[in-house]
Structure 1
Amino acid sequence: MTGGLAPLPDGGSLAYTVRGDGPPLVLISGLGGLASFWAAFGEVCAAHFTVVTYDHRGVGGSSALAGDTSIAAMRDDLLALLDHLGIGATAMLGHSTGGAIAQSVALAAPERLTRLVLSATFATPCAYMRRLFAGRIELLDRLGADAYRRHAVTLLNAPYWLNANDALVERELAAAAARGRPGDAAVIRARMLAVLAHDAQARLGEIACPTRVVVAADDIVTPAYLSERLAAGIQDAEFRLLPCGGHYAMRAEPERYRDAVLDFLRGATAADTGR
């Protein structure tokens, strides 16, 4: 595995990693924005792809985020990373907020995409999601980033997985607190507001690359009906509903998640797999 810092046009930088061999595949993290989110699944994909992961601006090893942001700004950062790496067109898997970024790439720069997986994401927030995120923002504002993260693990992880891995989650929370940066709460808040402002619903029909939409039935952050709406709006999109796994299905149900996305990314369609 290699990595580095990709310069951005405004003087910022994105920390990135590259592993594996084969055609390029970019894995785009969700609201947390860390490349390490994809550690396990990235290794699975690296047997077939040159896998690119990265820390979003304001997160991890990337440069600070000053002020507000948007899904379009996150898209432009990603496109600058692809330019730095000399990647013209690539497959993409975007999870949650990363799925919104991937939609934005598909609409603004369709020539950069070969295949697209939209994982546990949304075209525009529904009333439930808006209320959920309003509550998360209020908790963040009142209690700070560490309390926000402690609450988030109960939303993001399937209850049965969390019950079996509680000690691991405590270690991860302690590590997140230790690596915290000044202004973390402001960055989280700005990123949540960017999520709430995303609205690609009216333009979904313009997405032309082969697309598969994947979600778990018990996801309570981006409910499955949001993924159903996405798939219905994108021409010829395939839809995969996992029976369980929560918002982090790649963690709770790694084999099911792998089977739902990997063959598609490698070029197989529903007709090819007999589904």
Structure 2
Amino acid sequence: MPSIVTNGIRTHYEIHGSGPALIFASGLGGTGAYWAPQVEAFSNDFTVVTYDQRGAGKSEHPAGPYSIEMLADDLQALIAALHLDRPVLIGHSTGGAIGQCLAARAPHLLAGMLLYASWAKSDAHFNWCFRMRRALLEGTSLEEYVHGSALFLYPPEHVRTHAERLSPALLASVANFPARETVLHRIDAIMAHDASAQLAKIQVPVWVVCAQDDILTPPYQSRLLAEGIPGAQLQVVAQGGHSFSETETDTFNRIVLAFLSRIGLAHTDLPVIEARS
């Protein structure tokens, strides 16, 4: 994975394929590796860019505090440094929050945006979830933290049927886990996020996507996002949890392709999944 200095930190990124640019921004974990199924699916027809965020993966982990606005600064600097011409942003959870800030402040920077399992403003439910994750991080082993966090990401049926694969992968992630203080800074940034007053400034095409059984950012969060962004479309899928790009990969990829087709960047013979306004 190459690296480049952007906004004062060294940022690791990957570029695959050629064609219209898609840049993928991850959730709390913040690593580009999260998007491996999408890299494989879209790099034949698009320039697919993934990256590790500040405080995540192989990018630098500077001292905090962090904010979503700071992470948006980082992404804006990366887009400029890589000379990406109006990429489409696909943002998961925290990545979607980053996209909200970026699109509101720089409306001509992006060609479109798909906000997946994201939220515009923290509320009691959201903060209670992250209070629990903070408590796990501060008071237990990293092994227990990654397993506890997984319960927020995956629906029960997926955990039941994939535990033998999931658990070793979660344990392996501990070897490269950031310092606890760094993750706490990222959690603080997430809990402080409030873009509700900025949503009306977003002028790019937006598709808001979530799963009905997402317990971390429930569907009402996506409805509020879609209601606040002019012209935004809402798509709610039946199942898949907070990480349904992983648990229901084919469904998620079809939605991305339908969105790209809707904004004129792709042609597909697949039935278009209708979104709701």
TM-score by length of 2: 0.92
Residue type matched to 1:48 in 2?
D
C-alpha distance in 1, partners of 2:174/2:250? Answer: 30
- In structure 1, the residue matched to 2:231 is 236
Residue type matched to 1:190 in 2?
H
- 1:268 to partner: Cα distance: 4.6
The 5-angstrom pairing of residues 48-59 of structure 1 reads 48-59=45-56
C-alpha distance in 2, partners of 1:138/1:243? Answer: 31
- Where do 4+ consecutive residues of structure 1 move more than 6 Å? none
- In structure 1, the residue matched to 2:138 is 141
CA contact (8 A) 1:20 1:47 kept: yes
The 5-angstrom pairing of residues 164-243 of structure 1 reads 164-181=161-178, 183=179, 185-243=180-238
Q: Does 1:9 align with 2:7?
A: yes
C-alpha distance in 1, partners of 2:4/2:32? Answer: 14
5+ long unaligned stretches in structure 2: 265-270
Query: Of the candidates 53, 58, 67, which is equivalent to residue 61 of structure 1?
Result: 58
**Deviation larger for 150-159 or 260-269:** 260-269
CA contact (8 A) 2:255 2:273 kept: no
Aligned residue for 1:76, secondary structure, equals helix
Query: Of the candidates 105, 112, 125, which is equivalent to residue 108 of structure 1?
Result: 105
- 1:103 to partner: Cα distance: 0.4
The number of residue pairs the alignment matches comes to 268
Q: Pairwise CA RMSD of aligned residues? A: 1.6
C-alpha distance in 2, partners of 1:138/1:131? Answer: 11
C-alpha distance in 2, partners of 1:274/1:65? Answer: 41
C-alpha distance in 2, partners of 1:274/1:136? Answer: 34
- In structure 1, the residue matched to 2:116 is 119
TM-score by length of 1: 0.93
C-alpha distance in 2, partners of 1:227/1:237? Answer: 10
- 1:233 to partner: Cα distance: 0.9
C-alpha distance in 2, partners of 1:13/1:267? Answer: 35
Residue type matched to 1:8 in 2?
T
C-alpha distance in 1, partners of 2:143/2:203? Answer: 41
Residue type matched to 1:161 in 2?
H
Residue type matched to 2:207 in 1?
R
C-alpha distance in 2, partners of 1:90/1:198? Answer: 24
- In structure 1, the residue matched to 2:246 is 251
5+ long unaligned stretches in structure 1: none
- 1:88 to partner: Cα distance: 3.5
- 1:154 to partner: Cα distance: 1.3
C-alpha distance in 2, partners of 1:4/1:140? Answer: 30
Residue type matched to 2:189 in 1?
A
The change in CA–CA distance for 1:170 and 1:80 in structure 2 (over 3 A counts) is same
C-alpha distance in 1, partners of 2:211/2:204? Answer: 23
CA contact (8 A) 1:117 1:265 kept: no
CA contact (8 A) 2:39 2:48 kept: yes
Residue type matched to 1:228 in 2?
R
- 1:65 to partner: Cα distance: 2.4
Aligned residue for 2:108, secondary structure, equals helix
Residue type matched to 2:149 in 1?
A
Aligned residue for 1:15, secondary structure, equals strand
